Amino acid sequence: MFLGVFLFLGLFFIVVTRFVNDYFDVRTITTEGNERVSEEAVHARVAYFVSKNINSSFFGKLFGAYNMAYMHSIDWKDLQKEDTRFLYTSASLNILNRSLRVEIKEREPFGVWCGGDEKCFWFDKEGRLVSEAPMVQGFLITRIEDSSLRELNLGDLIIEGPVFMEHIMGIIEFIKEMPIPADAIRVENNNDREVKVRFWDTPQHSFDIYFSLETHPRWARDVILSLLKNGELKNAEYVDLRIENRVYYK
């Protein structure tokens, strides 16, 4: 008698589970907002994400990773932590269509960071490395060359500390506001918190500007613009802005 009841309950459970899997599983996944990240890459990341979190969900362990009850319980904002290219993620389920729509806001490439090993990454406006990049040249793309032998990987920040990050972004803004082109931002020694940028006022003449990451360079903007306008830097070798509110040039 007991064995019969046990077998009946076991068979009933199998039938119910099969029914739930057949009629309450997500069958279609669509993506929205991805431009540089392919749809296949998003699907692969979603598959990894739901499988990774399945053990923390009763419905997931019982009915599988693509069960709608399980997917409804997921905090889809956590998906952005799984891929450095995602700035924001959300998802919505359509029960009638048995579909999942994943919405993505990608991190926008802002510049290229290259390390001493010549490995380069795109970084966004927050200074976070988001994807691999080629070794770019020229004046059109902001480039940071870091020879401090730090080893950075995807998801890392180009520099630690919110103040230093604000100041290096300020240096990038400073460069963009100058009427003359500039080479890469060179971090010679990260411990000294100093960087060097070479500017070209003519095709035949260039000079270096030294910045300190201890100070924001906004104070020097109008001074340098005035010196350039008056031609006082046409024979300069360098300009030193490492001490706030003091401009030295030679």
Q: One digit per residue, pLDDT tens: the chain, 250 residues?
A: 544 444 434 443 444 444 444 556 777 888 888 888 888 888 888 878 877 766 555 555 555 667 766 676 777 777 777 787 888 788 878 777 778 888 888 888 999 999 877 789 999 999 999 888 888 787 788 999 887 767 788 888 888 888 889 999 999 999 999 999 999 999 876 566 889 999 998 888 999 999 999 999 999 999 999 999 999 998 999 999 999 999 998 8
Q: Is residue 66 part of a domain?
A: yes
31 and 131 in a single domain? The answer is no
The domain in which residue 237 lies consists of 111-249
Q: Is residue 4 part of a domain?
A: no
78 and 126 in a single domain? The answer is no
51 and 159 in a single domain? The answer is no
Of 86, 106, 126, at which residue does a domain stop?
106
What global pTM score does this model have?
0.74
125 and 213 in a single domain? The answer is yes
76 and 185 in a single domain? The answer is no
Q: Is residue 8 part of a domain?
A: no
Of 74, 106, 138, at which residue does a domain stop?
106
51 and 120 in a single domain? The answer is no
Q: Is residue 9 part of a domain?
A: no
pLDDT score at 190: 58
pLDDT score at 162: 86
239 and 201 in a single domain? The answer is yes
pLDDT score at 246: 92
63 and 122 in a single domain? The answer is no
pLDDT score at 102: 86
pLDDT score at 18: 46
130 and 189 in a single domain? The answer is yes
pLDDT score at 118: 74
DSSP assignment string, the chain: -HHHHHHHHHHHHHHHHHHHHHHSB--EEEEES-SSS-HHHHHHHHHHHHHHTGGG-HHHHHH-TTBHHHHHHS-GGGGGGG-TTEEEEEEEEETTTTEEEEEEEEPPP-EEEE-TT--EEEE-TT-BEEEE-----SSSS-EEEE-S-----TT-BSSSSHHHHHHHHHHHHHHHHSSS-EEEEEEEEGGGTEEEEEEEEETTEEEEEEEETTS-GGGGHHHHHHHHHTTTTTT-SEEE--STT--EE-
Of 91, 106, 121, at which residue does a domain stop?
106
141 and 49 in a single domain? The answer is no
Q: Is residue 99 part of a domain?
A: yes
128 and 221 in a single domain? The answer is yes
| CATH number, domain containing residue 75 | 3.10.20
Q: Is residue 13 part of a domain?
A: no
141 and 95 in a single domain? The answer is no
Q: Is residue 2 part of a domain?
A: no
pLDDT score at 12: 39
pLDDT score at 10: 43
pLDDT score at 65: 63
Q: How many domains does the chain have?
A: 2
Q: Is residue 116 part of a domain?
A: yes
